[in-house]
């Protein structure tokens, strides 16, 4: 009986470590999709497509599936909410999922209102700024996932093993 409890404890701690590792990987994937989103917005801005139409199109892009705030924002816009406000509300909801860090969430929340207020030349410089920030955040997220992700599994497994030994 004690051996089964110890084995379950080790397994539970390994699962916790795996969940933490997967969360770190998911954050890196989300940042990669944010970088892709910004490149797509730049492309559409160069083609003089309005931001609202660009967001509505990109909300349906399967390559941006992890950015669940995009369909939320598009739905709010269709309901009559102005684009900057719809964006802010959608990103605020997305921030609570834990898929991005609080500073990244704040930067993302400020993105579209700033872009909506910009003219053509300022829009390009703002996109450069946000793209460089997103690339930096992506590199950090990938590094954290690579270095800390495996460590989470190993440490939680070791803790589970130690607790399992104590049970025996």
Q: What is the mean pLDDT of the chain?
A: 88
Number of structural domains (the chain) is 1
pLDDT at 39 over 90: yes
| Structural domain boundaries enclosing 159 | 2-167
Query: Which among 28, 90, 24, 84 is positioned nearest to 59, based on CA atoms?
Result: 90
| Alpha helix ranges (H) inside 47-119 | 51-58, 69-78, 83-95, 102-116
pLDDT, tens digit, 9 for 90 and up, residues 55-69: 999 999 999 999 999
Enter the tokens of residue 44: 């559409």
Please give the pLDDT value at position 116. Answer: 85
The pTM of this model reads 0.84
In the block, residue with structure tokens 């989300």: 30
């Amino acid at each position: 009986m004690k051996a089964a409890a110890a084995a379950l404890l080790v397994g539970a701690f390994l699962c916790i470590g795996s969940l933490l590792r997967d969360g770190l990987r998911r954050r890196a994937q989300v940042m990669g999709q944010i970088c892709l989103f910004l490149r797509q917005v730049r492309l559409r801005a160069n083609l003089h497509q309005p931001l609202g139409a660009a967001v509505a199109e990109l909300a349906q892009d399967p390559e941006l599936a992890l950015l669940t705030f995009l369909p939320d924002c598009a739905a709010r816009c269709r309901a009559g909410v102005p684009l900057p406000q719809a964006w802010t509300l959608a990103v605020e909801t997305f921030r609570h999922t834990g898929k991005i860090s609080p500073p990244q969430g704040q930067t993302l929340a400020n993105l579209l209102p700033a872009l909506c207020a910009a003219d053509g030349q300022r829009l390009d410089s703002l996109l450069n700024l946000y793209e460089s920030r997103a690339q930096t955040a992506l590199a950090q997220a990938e590094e954290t996932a690579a270095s800390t992700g495996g460590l989470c599994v190993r440490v939680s497994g070791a803790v589970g093993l130690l607790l399992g030994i104590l049970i025996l």
